[in-house]
Amino acid sequence: MSSRARLIVFLVGALGLATVFALGFCDLPPMGDYRGPYGYVVTQVAVFERHATDVVNAINYDYRAFDTLGEEFILFASILGVLLIFRPSQNSEKKESYDPGQEDLPASDALHVTTQGIMGIMIVFGVYLTTHGQLTPGGGFQGGVVLASTPILVYLAGDIEAFQGITSSALVKFSECGGAAGYAILGLAATVFGAHFLTNVVPLGTTGDLFSSGTIAIISVCVGIEVAGGFVQLIRVYLREIVGAQLKEQE
């Protein structure tokens, strides 16, 4: 296909996309107008029905838990696809292990001390977000991302050996698979008790307590584990590709 033909195809597609966007914007409600009757209903009954003070997580992990399960496995499949694309081939000179150099990166003592302190805060905050999603804003997705960011600090501190040990451990790989599987197993567990798939069959506890909201809190933890494990693997493979490209340019 010639450049002129490709340009024509692009312009036709761009014009169609612009038309769809224009039609969508024409039907937008006025600023501040909320067209969601179901939202009003859920906010009135979620705390009473599910003992969860964070209605957003009650919706994500209970009222529409099946949709969130699909999103969870989309993330799982996406991460798996990236790992397969960037996997070292047998004919490639790339090593399976992450090895940007034999020595740690240069870093000052102040940077080491600072990153260690921040790491502790991030781990505590990530665990808090993951385990308190049913009570306060947060949840598994947010907490998992915070936890997955911790190895980046190890890398920035120059401790390559520790970074490699963390990101390549079997626990990271198991957490991604185990978290996603735990979500599905909770759904199947409801069918054992004669309920529909992903029905909240765990005792709801007392509203406001850590162990409240039944399966909402458990699913949030499973999501946090899966997100943390998946993003840590992404960080490892992307850094390996970046450092490998830089070393190739220097040769």
Structural domain boundaries of the chain? 36-250
> Residue 98 has what pLDDT?
47
Question: Residue written as tokens 């000179």?
Answer: 93
How far apart, in Å, are the Cα atoms of 9 and each of 14, 19, 20? 9, 15, 17
Around 24, how many Cα atoms within 13 Å sit in the side-chain half-sphere?
A: 6
> Residue 199 has what pLDDT?
93
How distant is the alpha carbon of residue 68 from its chain centre?
A: 12
The distance in angstroms from the start CA to the end CA of the chain is: 37
Mean pLDDT by 10 residues, the chain (251 residues): 88 95 86 81 91 93 94 93 82 49 62 84 94 92 94 83 83 90 93 92 92 94 94 89 72 63
Contacts of 142 (CB under 8 A, 6+ apart): 129, 130, 133
Question: Residue written as tokens 């409240």?
Answer: 212
CA 61 to CA 67: how far, in whole Å?
A: 9
> Residue 101 has what pLDDT?
46
Cβ(199)–Cβ(45) below 8 Å:
no
> Residue 173 has what pLDDT?
86
Work out the angle at residue 74's Cα, subtended by the Cα atoms of residues 66 and 232, and round it to the nearest 5 degrees.
120
> Residue 90 has what pLDDT?
61
For 83-112, letters b (16+ CB in 10 Å) and e give beeeeeeeeeeeeeebebeeeeeeeeeeee
Find, among 229, 226, 60, the residue nearest to 134 by Cα. Answer: 60
> Residue 102 has what pLDDT?
45
Assessment of whether the complete model's pTM goes beyond 0.75: yes
Find, among 114, 87, 56, 35, the residue nearest to 241 by Cα. Answer: 87
CA 172 to CA 168: how far, in whole Å?
A: 7
What count of other Cβ atoms lies within 10 Å of the Cβ of residue 59?
21
> Residue 107 has what pLDDT?
67
> Residue 104 has what pLDDT?
54
CA 15 to CA 38: how far, in whole Å?
A: 35
> Residue 155 has what pLDDT?
84
CA 142 to CA 154: how far, in whole Å?
A: 20
CA 170 to CA 2: how far, in whole Å?
A: 49
Work out the angle at residue 147's Cα, subtended by the Cα atoms of residues 137 and 167, and round it to the nearest 5 degrees.
160
